[in-house]
Chain A
Amino acid sequence: MKSQYLILLALLVIPVRAGSQVLVSSPLSPRITGYSIDAVLDPQAKTVNGKMKAYWVNVTDDSVPDIWLHLYLNAFSSNKTTFYREKGGSPGSKPDDLGWVKIESLTDRRGNNLLPAMKYVSPDDDNPDDRSVARIILPQAVAGKDTLFLEAEFESKLPSDITRTGYSKDFFFVAQWFPKFGVYEPPGMRGRREGGWNCHQFHANSEFYSNHSVYEVNITVPAGYVVGSGGITLAEEDNGDGTKTVRTRAEDIVDFAWTAWPGYKVFTDTWKHVNIKLLLPAEKSNLAERHFTAVKYALGYLEENVGPYPWNYLTFADPPVMGTGAGGMEYTTLFTSMSVPGIPDYILLPEMVTVHEFGHAFFMGIIATNEFEEPWLDEGINSYWEQRIMDHYYGNAGIINHPLFKISDKSMARSSYIASPSRQAASNAGYSWNYPHGTYSMMSYMKAAAILHTLTGMVGEETMNEVFREYYRRWAFRHPSAGDFIDVVNATVLKMHGDRFGSDLNWFFEQTIFGTGICDYKVINIINRKAEEFQGLSIQPDSSFFVERKKMPDTLNYSVVQLQRDGEIQLPVEVLIRFDNGDEILEKWDGKSRVKDFRYTGKRKVTQVKIDPEYKNQMDINFINNSMAERPDRKPLKRLFRRIFSIMIFFMDFVII
C-alpha cells in the first residue's frame, strides 16, 4: 500500500473538525467507500473536470475479481439510453445539450491502467446503447477484507435537459456526476444467495443505492458563483485567477451533489444542533421563512418519532425557474425543494416538497434501502412520513389552504391511488423500472403510503412510531430489505400488542404491498321494522295445536345492518352504529367474510352506520359507501351548492360588458 493511499484512507475515515464544528465524533457507518475529488467547473463548456482518488473496502470474505462503477451522466448521451427509452424524448441534438462522463485515466494503487479492462454493461435490460454502468476486471482480485484504491481523471459534461442533474445558462446542478462504486453484496445480504455487485443503470424512475461514504470534494468555480453542496464547507479560497475553490467534506452520506449559480441568495437558520443553509433565487426570497419552517417541522417530527439527524449541517436549494428539473431531489445533507415565484401562501407545494425531500435523509439516506429494487421502502415510507408531518402541522390543508378550498396531503396522495385506473396493474414487489402503465409513482409513493397509514390505523400511531424507532436502531447506516422492515414491524407489534393481530403481520403485507387486490367495505342496507307478533299454529307438547296470535310490545324494533366486502383485501374494521335514542355501538368485524349482518332487537332503531368511522383504513377505495343514514343530512350539500351558485352567477359577469 503506497503511503499516499494510506493518507487518503486516513483522511477520509478519520473524523475531522471544520473550524469548531465537529462533523461527526465517530463514524456513523462502516464507510466502505470514500472519495476525494478535485472538481473544476467550466461554465462555458458546461463540464466538470475531476481528479478522483477513491477506495472500496471489501468487508466481506469474498474474493472479488471486478468492480462496477456507475457512470450516470452517460444516460444523457443519446435518446437510445435506458433512461431516455423509459422517460421518452431526447437529451437534444446539439453537442451542448448532451451529457456524458468520460474517464480519461483509471489506475489502481500499483499504477496499473484499468481502462483497457473496462466494459460497459447493462445488467437491467441488456441495452447496448446504455453506458451508465461500467465493469472493470481487475488484474488481481480484491481479497476479503482488502481495500481497493482507484485514481481517476474524468470529464463530466452536464446535460441541458435538467433531470436531477444538468445546467441551464449559468445555473448548474451537479449530481450523479462522478464515477461511483456500486454496492458489493455478500451472500445473505438483502436475501442474496451469491455475492455480487448491485449496480443498476440510470433509470427514469429511482436513483439511489449506495454505500455510506466519506467525501472530500474541492469545487473550483468562477469567483462570483454561490456554491451549495452535500458537504460542510471547510474553506473557501480565492485562486487569484477569477476562480475560487470551495473545500468541502461530507461523512456517511450515500451521494455527493452540489450546485453553483451566481444568482443564489443565501439564507441561514438553525434548529437545535443543525445549521441550515438555504439557497434561493432572488425572486423566491419571500419563501425563505416558509421553507425554514417546513424543514424545522420535519427535523423535529422525524427526530422525535424515528431517530436522530446526526449531522450538524443541512443545505437545501429551491432552484430558479430555469433549473426546475433539478427540484425535488435528495442527497441526504443536500436536497432541493420546488416552487414557482409568487406562489401564494395558500398553496403549500414548497412546504410539501421540502418536507418530502428532507425526509429522504432518513429513508434512503440514513436507512439506505435499494430504491431500484424496492422503491416503496424509500419513496413509500418517506411519503408516509411526509403526509404525517404535513397533516400534523398543516391539518386538513397540507396542500391547499384557502378558505374556500382545502386539500390535505394525505387525501391528495390517497386520491392518486384510488382514482388510478391502473391501481391493480402491479404490486409493490417489482423493480422500479418494471412498473407497468406508468404506475411507478402511484404504486411506490401513494399506494405504499396508504398501506402504511392503514397499518397505523390498525396498530396505532405510537406503535408505528416505535416500529420506526426500532427500524432506525437496527438499520441506520445499513441496507435493509423489505423483509427486514417487515421483521421489525412483526417484532414490534408482537411486543406491544401480543398476538392481537396474529403471530405476525405477514398476512397484511402479503395482501397489500405484495398483492394487487383492492379494499372496499360498504354498507348495503339498514332495515328497521317492528318485531312482528306471532300468528299461526301453536304446537303443544302433546302434538295438539291451535291458532295463536301473540301480542308483542308495541315499541320493540327489529333492526338489521347489512355490510359487504367487495374487494379482495381482508382487513379488520370497526363499525359504528347509531340508534334513534342516541345510543352508539362500536362493533368489530374481522372483515373476512363477503357479507356481514349486525342484528338488534329492542326499543331503539338504527339510524346511521359507519364502517371505519375514523377513516383509519386509507386503502378502502370508496369512503362514500362506507356509511349510510336513514335520513341523510343534506344541509352541507345545500350549503355547498348555494356557494357554488353564488360564485358562478357572480363571475358570469366577466363576459358582460
Chain B
Amino acid sequence: MFQHIKTGLHSSLKCWRWVVAFWLVSALTVSLISFPLKTSVKTILGSSLVTGRLGDGFPLDIISNSGAGFDKVGSFAISGTLLALFIIFLLNAFFTGGFFSAVKTGEFTNSRSFFGDAALFFRKFFGINLLTVAVLFFLALLLVAVPSAIGYSTMGNTIIFISLAVYSIAAAMVISVADFSRSMIVSDGKSGIISAVGKGIKSLSSGFLINISAIVLILIIQVLIAYLFVIFIVHPVNSPLGGFLLFAVGHLFNIIKVFIRCWRYGTVTSLSGNRIPVV
C-alpha cells in the first residue's frame, strides 16, 4: 500500500505545473466574482468613515443603512458564487482528465499532452463527477439529514455523530469508486461512463482493503488540511497583516489541496495497475 502511495506522491510531484495552473484558474474564476463585488461595496460606501467599522464584527447596521444598494450586491454575490461554483466544477472535470493522464506515466507532461487528454476525457469526467456529487448529496440526505431529524429529540447529538460517521464511510467508498472509474477511462480510453463505473468497482474490489485504506489515508490528510484552514480562518490574526496572512496562507492551502488530490489520483492509478512503467 505504501509503495502505491509513494508512487502516487512521486507522480503528483511531477504534475506541479498543472497543480499551480489549476489553482491559478480557480483563483481567477473567484476573482471574477469577488473583484466586482468589492468595487460595488466601495461605491456604496463612498468616502464614508464607516469603513473603519468593517473590522468590528459583521457591520449589519451599516449594511442595512445602504437601502437597496446592499440588496443588489447580496443578490450578485449569491448568483455570482453559484456561477463560480459551476465554472469551477467544469474546470475540475477538464483538469482531472489531464491529471489522471499525467500521473499515468509519472513523468513531466507537456501542455499539449495535458490539455489534449483533458479535452479528450472531459465529457466522461464531467458525467462521473456529476454522478458522484449527486450520489454524495443523496447520501447526505439519506444518512445524515433524515436520521438526525428523526432521532435528534431522543438521541441528541449522538445521532448526528453516528450519521456523520456512517456518511464518511459511504462517501469514502463513493469517491474511491469515482477515482477508480476515472482511472479506467484514462487507461483504456474507450469505456463509457457506466462501463467505467463498473470497471472501477471491479478494480476497487480486487485488493479492496489495500485500495480503500490507501484512499482513506489520503482523504484523511485532505480533511485535516481543510480542518487546519477552518481553524485558521476562525481564529484570524488581529493585526494589519492578518488579512494578508489569511490571503497568502489561504492560497498556500489551496495549492496543497490540489496537490493532495493529484496525489490521490496518482495513488489510484498505481493501485489499479494502470500506471505505464517508464522504460
Q: Please list the residues of chain A having a beta carbon within 8 angstroms of any beta carbon in chain B.
A: 282-283, 320-322, 341-342, 396-397, 400, 402-408, 411-412, 414-415, 418-419, 608, 610, 621-630, 632-650, 652-653, 655-657
**CB–CB B48/A632 < 8 A:** yes
Give how many B residues have a beta carbon under 8 Å from the other chain's beta carbons. 71
Per the bound structure, the CA–CA distance linking A610 and B226 in Å amounts to 43
**CB–CB B64/A648 < 8 A:** no
Q: How far is the CB of B45 from chain A (nearest CB, A)?
A: 6
Partner of B129, one of A400, A411, A626, A657: A657
Partner of A646, one of B45, B59, B61, B246: B246
Q: How far is the CB of A318 from chain B (nearest CB, A)?
A: 14
Per the bound structure, the CA–CA distance linking A637 and B67 in Å amounts to 19
Q: Which residues of A contact B29 (CB under 8 A)?
A: 652
**CB–CB A415/B61 < 8 A:** yes
**CB–CB A418/B64 < 8 A:** yes
Per the bound structure, the CA–CA distance linking A397 and B59 in Å amounts to 11
Per the bound structure, the CA–CA distance linking A315 and B249 in Å amounts to 50
Closest to B250 in A: A646
**CB–CB A412/B65 < 8 A:** no
Per the bound structure, the CA–CA distance linking A37 and B246 in Å amounts to 65
Q: Which residues of A contact B16 (CB under 8 A)?
A: none
Q: Which residues of B contact A283 (CB under 8 A)?
A: 152-153, 156
Per the bound structure, the CA–CA distance linking A624 and B85 in Å amounts to 32
Chain B CB within 10 A, most for which of A342, A629, A650: A650
Closest to B242 in A: A639
Partner of A652, one of B26, B41, B234, B251: B26
**CB–CB A624/B153 < 8 A:** no
**CB–CB A404/B89 < 8 A:** no
Asked whether any CB of chain A lies closer than 8 Å to the CB of B139, the reply is no
Q: How far is the CB of B79 from chain A (nearest CB, A)?
A: 14
Q: Say yes or no: A405-B57 contact (C-beta < 8 A), given A622-B66, A648-B84.
A: yes
**CB–CB B61/A627 < 8 A:** no
Interface residues of B in 62-109 (CB under 8 A from A): 62-67, 81, 84-85, 88-89, 92, 96
Interface residues of B in 9-62 (CB under 8 A from A): 26-27, 29-31, 33-34, 37-38, 41-42, 44-62
5 residue pairs A–B, Cβ–Cβ below 8 Å: A404-B236, A624-B66, A639-B240, A649-B250, A650-B253
Closest to A638 in B: B243
Per the bound structure, the CA–CA distance linking A295 and B244 in Å amounts to 41
**CB–CB A622/B244 < 8 A:** no
Q: How far is the CB of A16 from chain B (nearest CB, A)?
A: 40
Partner of A656, one of B52, B56, B92: B92
Closest to A654 in B: B85
Q: Say yes or no: A406-B58 contact (C-beta < 8 A), given A622-B65, A624-B50.
A: yes
Q: Please list the residues of chain B having a beta carbon within 8 angstroms of any beta carbon in chain A.
A: 26-27, 29-31, 33-34, 37-38, 41-42, 44-67, 81, 84-85, 88-89, 92, 96, 129, 132-133, 152-153, 156-157, 160, 175, 178, 226, 229, 233-236, 240, 242-244, 246-247, 249-251, 253-254, 257, 261
**CB–CB B62/A652 < 8 A:** no
Partner of A645, one of B41, B247, B261: B247
**CB–CB B88/A641 < 8 A:** no
Closest to B41 in A: A637
**CB–CB A639/B156 < 8 A:** no
Partner of A643, one of B47, B57, B246: B246
Partner of A400, one of B33, B48, B58, B85: B58
Q: Which residues of B contact A641 (CB under 8 A)?
A: 34, 37-38, 41
Q: Say yes or no: A648-B50 contact (C-beta < 8 A), given A405-B58, A623-B61.
A: no
**CB–CB B64/A415 < 8 A:** yes
**CB–CB B244/A623 < 8 A:** no
Q: How far is the CB of B200 from chain A (nearest CB, A)?
A: 13
Per the bound structure, the CA–CA distance linking A416 and B85 in Å amounts to 32
**CB–CB B247/A342 < 8 A:** no
Partner of A627, one of B38, B49, B153, B226: B49
Chain A CB within 10 A, most for which of B46, B58, B178: B58
Q: Say yes or no: A414-B152 contact (C-beta < 8 A), given A396-B56, A627-B50, A642-B243.
A: no
**CB–CB A342/B64 < 8 A:** no
**CB–CB B42/A628 < 8 A:** no
Q: How far is the CB of A319 from chain B (nearest CB, A)?
A: 12
Q: How far is the CB of B145 from chain A (nearest CB, A)?
A: 14
Q: How far is the CB of B211 from chain A (nearest CB, A)?
A: 17
Per the bound structure, the CA–CA distance linking A419 and B63 in Å amounts to 9
**CB–CB A645/B30 < 8 A:** yes
**CB–CB B60/A411 < 8 A:** yes
Q: Say yes or no: A629-B49 contact (C-beta < 8 A), given A649-B30, A657-B132, A657-B178.
A: yes
**CB–CB B58/A403 < 8 A:** no
Per the bound structure, the CA–CA distance linking A1 and B59 in Å amounts to 66
Per the bound structure, the CA–CA distance linking A172 and B121 in Å amounts to 62
Chain B CB within 10 A, most for which of A623, A630, A647: A623
Contacts A414-B64, A641-B41 aside, 10 further interface pairs with beta carbons under 8 A come to A341-B153, A342-B152, A610-B49, A623-B65, A624-B50, A627-B49, A632-B47, A635-B240, A636-B53, A650-B226
Closest to B91 in A: A656
**CB–CB B58/A634 < 8 A:** no
